[in-house]
Structure 1
Amino acid sequence: MVQAPDLLAQTIWEGLVSGVLYALIALGFVLIFKASGVFNFAQGIMVVFAALTLVGLYEKGVPAFLAVILTLGVMFALAVTIERVVLRPLVNQPDIILFMATFGITYFLIGFGEAVFGGSPKQMIADQLWLPKGAIDLKLFGGLVSLQKIDIAAAVIASVMIAALAAFFQYTRIGRALRAVADSHKAALSVGISLNQIWVIVWFTAGIVALITGIMWGARSDVSFALEIVALKALPVLILGGFTSIPGAIVGGLIIGIGEKLGEFYWGPLIGGGIESWLAYFIALGFLLFRPQGLFGDKIIERI
């Protein structure tokens, strides 16, 4: 690190971009958890499904930006369907029931997605969406640091989305209603808050987050069901930051993104590589042992 600071800067930049995208994925989980108190295991496959829908519509001849609009319509229809078919019958059921329901949603979307779009990887329509190409080379620390323009765009778009969602939760009436529903379904119903409308709104918002995440990740690699594994990196991000904290999702994402890049580049060769695939979960395990509520989570004490 000391001998080649330019390589360190390059590694930190790549980790920063990954961390911001991890934080964006984690926000999808936070949205559902805030509105229902239940962890949504299906958020990872929603990222894949949204990206595949966008690419699939374009392959059918739909113009790129119209395909984005239609994909948002599909995600809204998915949100309404989930609320009507899955969530509405399970109001006031134990949290574990709702959690297991998200497993069912996950495997339904996997099967439905493979049936409609096939299982082969697809290329994201980055050029058609006017996403930038090429790189910006900076001379830093006596060396050269290369910043991919798509990474810069991903970091900026993800940051704007995170800020918008934070403001939405903090300053809007719907955001306050979401927090009330998360505290108690029965109390929210007693003051006139409609669980049905809130759940549709929050699942649709999570679908928008999934689409943006899928576009950004797909533009950096490709669109396939393997992308779900990347999306599950949000799990350690949530453990670090706290399941109900938007600032926690940001900080946790940056820690995981930068940490795994540094680990893979500097310590990977010493132990055979592959650190990037498991380091995030190792860090999360440490937090579970010593601070299970995360950096920004509330410590819940139940008195008997």
Structure 2
Amino acid sequence: MASILTNTSAMAALSTLRSISSSMEDTQNRISTGMRVGSASDNAAYWSIATTMRSDNAALSSVTDALGMGAAKVDTAYSGMEAAIDVVTEIKAKIVAATEEGVDAAKVQEEIDQLQDQLLSIAESASFNGENWIAGEAGTKTVVTGFVRASDGTVSVKTSDYTLTDAADGTLLFADDGSGGLDTGTGILGTAGTNGNTVYGLDISSMDATALGNALSDVEDALTAMTSAASSLGSMSTRIDLQSDFVAELSDSIEAGIGRLVDADMNEESTRLKALQTQQQLAIQALSIANSDSQNILSLFR
């Protein structure tokens, strides 16, 4: 039936055109943003997962920064301890040289005095951001090592502790005396060994062979303690390096996973847009033909 009041063909063509225009709007939005899930209305489940994982990735970025700070502190302490070991090794060599008959022990002690001053300089200088792990107060230092989301959804920050002690078998070369300086009478280099000698206060200028042997033994004990402390610092440094690599890889994996959930396939979207543009042109043509039907009725009255 032909009617001038109700053009069903035009209504159908218009409905089709509106549907195509809506699809084009969605496709153009995906192309412009690069995302197929940009809001919760697009896909509530994927949007929720992606939002949570982006939050976790931001936390991992902070963990990376914290690991970098921790690594700098540990590496600074390790470098100081390693330098101190070299100096104490040199002191050990001087003591051995002083045991030779005819050697002027006073002259050797002058060299040892310089090495002792160097030990104090190393200890005072091995500081990063105001923290000194080989010369300072005894206590526990904490380094952030990870961020974990458990299977039940709870989150936590993982840390690793490093204990500083000023005992002879500890990790501090010198302890803090609380007056803004270092107490050179405590710590690995200041505490007297089994035979009563300290590395920092050692004076061999008037020692006999027996006393030199005892001094050598005490210096060797100090070296053992320093080597143990350096080993602990080295192990922590390795742990931090491994964790840093893992966090970087984990962050990349999370970012890739988010992309798989919400990113638009630009090849697919561009192909869809081209098809929709063609459909839109055809729909416009169909609507134009449907609208011209009412004009054809006029010919019946001529």
Q: If each structure's strand is expressed as a fraction of its own residues, which one has the higher value?
A: 2
Larger Rg: 2
* Structure with more contact order per residue of length (Cα contacts < 8 Å, sep ≥ 6): 1
Shorter-chain TM band:
under 0.3
TM-score normalized by the length of structure 2: 0.27
